[in-house]
Amino acid sequence: MNIQTGMQAPDFTLRDNEKNVVTLNEQRGKNVLLLFFPLAFTSTCTKELCSVRDNLAMYNQLNVQVYGISVDSLFSLDKFKTEQNLNFPLLSDFNKVASTAYGTIYDKFVMEMEGVSKRSAFVIDKEGIVQYAEVLENAGEVPDFEAIKICLDRINS
């Protein structure tokens, strides 16, 4: 399914890198930024998530909870988070439930890997409505963080 702005965000329940259960519907009342990424420890994913880490104060000021999501195991994500000193939760979508619901799964990725999340960004408002949706086919690109910031400014005003 292709998720578009104005749609109700699909709910999901995933575990974070600390083994805690996170359910999207339980985030109601908060703005949420979901960042799907292909694989931990890869160069573009590291660059993207470290950029978010370095700008987390801005996201906090914009009243948004940031989650990184990949199909990696929660154990791999915990090591990645620790090594990169990431300051926001990483969610394991090992069973590909959220990635499938958001239409962010590659049929074929590099080296014949299947079922890897496409790099994607979704801003979900306090009522659970998608306010921004970007799914990138090229895993070497990163989301348009300026457009994401503009969207967050708009929904906070």
Nearest to 134 by CA among 114, 115, 150: 150
DSSP 50-105: HHHHHTHHHHHHTTEEEEEEESS-HHHHHHHHHHHT--S-EEE-TT-HHHHHTT-B
Could you confirm whether 45 is annotated as catalytic?
Answer: yes
With 0-12 CB in 10 A as exposed, 13-18 as middle and 19+ as buried, what is 65?
middle
Residue from 45, 86, 116, 123 carrying the catalytic annotation: 45
Question: Residue for token digits 């990184």?
Answer: 68
Catalytic residues: 45
